[in-house]
Structure 1
Amino acid sequence: MANLHYEILTDPAQLQVSGTGKDEESPGTVHIVVSNPNAWFVTLYDLAVTVPYGTGRDHLTVDPDRIRARVSRSTLSPTVDLADTWDGTAGTYRLESSSGARLRRGEVIVIELTGFPVSSEEGLVLLSVAEESQGRGARNEHLVTLSLLKRAPKIPRNFRAEKTLLGSTERVTLRWDGPDGLGYKIQGPDGLTQTVPQRSGPDWSWSPKPGEEPKRDATYILIATPQSEHQPGYCLTAQPRVRERHGGERAVHSLGQGHRPRGPDRVHRPGREGPGRAAEVRHARRAGSHRGNRHRHDRRHDPLGQGHRTRRPHRIHRTRRPDPRRPAGAGHRHRCSTGRGDRERRAAAGA
């Protein structure tokens, strides 16, 4: 029996296998908690964790070089001599101490293996731990086996378009990962649903029929229905983008509402400048021409298209010189050059 106690945890709680494509990888993390449950010291000299790798059911990952192994947490003193190394060729993470690292009761070392894609076959994975330590007895080597499960996803995930940006003649292909026990339907941009036939290969895929391909950006909804009425259904969305031609000259990406071409091809649609404008106005950028400026001026001062308007002149207020006949503090009279009633006021003042 080993001198130390081992516990294994995974993130997610149950590792999900990866798909067959590069973009269908399912990342995983493994935590190995090493602790001393004894009432006496345990001196650790060497600890090696070996990870099985490959494409089989009992392999954790297909690419061991992507595993990032480290001690993520430790209650040991920082002065404890404990070196760690990762060997990707052998798939082994090793902790070594030439003088021995002493673990008191309850002290913990947490080893983290992260950054790897889980292999594509579901099954049971066995990790082997070789511990060289000394407790009450003599220094000895102990072997421990830790186990974890890889499972296929129970719900659909990773619903995506095979190509997110399509030409006007390219075919839309939608892919996703999911179990075989669900019924799948695809709802297109027209609101109609089509049943997906049972897959013949390792992946789920679907494409619209010829003539039903989208001409611009479209949203597709994957509807997954379980066989049992007591289980909830699932809905996922994917939105491929389609390149469109403007004027037969250049291709731009259709990004939905609000996207307009820039430069000379910019067109103002009817109704955007005002309800009275019935014709489209195209900017003509010519050297030495101010048509664009006149258009902006007309739109600012004539939003309803009722003809050119001019602003009314501002009234200029002038102050008369002080009248020596008026007593001090009585204030001054003001005359407006464009005001009314000047004659009446002068007549009333003379009377």
Structure 2
Amino acid sequence: MTMLTYTVLTDPAPLAASEAGRQSKSTGTVYLLVTNTGQTAYSKITLTVPVGTGAGDLTLSQDFAAITHKAEYTDIKSGSPRSVTVQTQGSAFQVTDKGGKAINFGPGDYMVLTLENVTVAPTPGLAVLTVTENAGRSKGGSPRNSYTAVALVKTAPQEIPAPHSFLADNAVVDAGTKVTLSWEGSDDFTYEILFPGGRKPVPRVKHAGSHGPYSLVLDAADAPKRDTTYTLVATFGTQRHVFTTTVQVRNPILDALTAINGVTTPWVQGSTKGDGTFTFSKGAMHVWREFGSNDSGALYAGEATVSGVATEYVKGLKDGDGDITFLPGGVKVWRTRGSNDPGTLYADSIRAKDAPYGQGGGWINLHDEGITVYLSKDGSNGLGSVTARSYNR
């Protein structure tokens, strides 16, 4: 039976076992509280730590050397703590007074041995630490060894906190503009960004504390051309977290567009600078040379079917082609656009209300065999006559 009383405490409580594959291992602090509830005792105390990968082990053998230690002894009468000596012996810590002497524990005195930066072994379970007490009741008496055990719990590894704050640097951009996606998350996760038509793995980053900001820049090749939803997938073992953020595009580029209920827009323009533009006004549509221009543009079509055409003139496509201009109550045919020379009108037949050759409304029919003159437009009144001042054959 030991002369002193031993209690073990941890921070955090309980300790969590480490997990393979994580960027950082689980660490904590172990406190051994030694109290004297009886008569004066002179003692040297040795705390042995179990090392290995098992459920009963506190830490791995290769991590034992990273443990930092200190011990403070408090005399209850003065209430002031003072440092005492801690030495390592294999996987054990021995606490003595200065010069390796036994510590004088008066009634009610206590001591705290602190082990910091303890990397917790990977298997959950109950780790049992053993205490060897070399003590006696008198300063010069013969001390003897007594033994006791203290235990602490190692729980299963804690789940990695989920990432958060997945956002784009700009919620609304122009088509093809670079986009930076950012979020906060643990380095233990493997991250990947998914988007329509592509996916981007995120390079590993090691932050202090294994948690920090991440960002991924989508260059012009992967930048959004239309409203796009980006998905962040974070995985570690069986853990999987999915987050989304959407970037809107002011001037989307579409492969195809099917509008079920029509398209409503004040204007339409080509995709290249300087392309023609359609604008819409009440009851009309206008073609302009380019967006923002006051110069009328050109409309090209194979053919057009319209209920009416209002225009100042009509001309052929080639230079020198005839030209028709419109004036109040009539039309004029010109040899070419800009010319003052009358042009020629070609037709299979011509019907006129007021013929320059008579007042009776006769009809002249021109055909391959010659000319037929009728008394009336529909030919129902028989043939008409031709009157000539002279005739040369």
TM-score, normalization by structure 2: 0.41
Name whichever structure is richer in strand by fraction.
Answer: 2
Compare relative contact order (CA 8 Å, sep 6+) and give the higher one, 1 or 2.
Answer: 1
Please identify the structure whose Cα radius of gyration is greater: 2
Name whichever structure is richer in helix by fraction.
Answer: 1
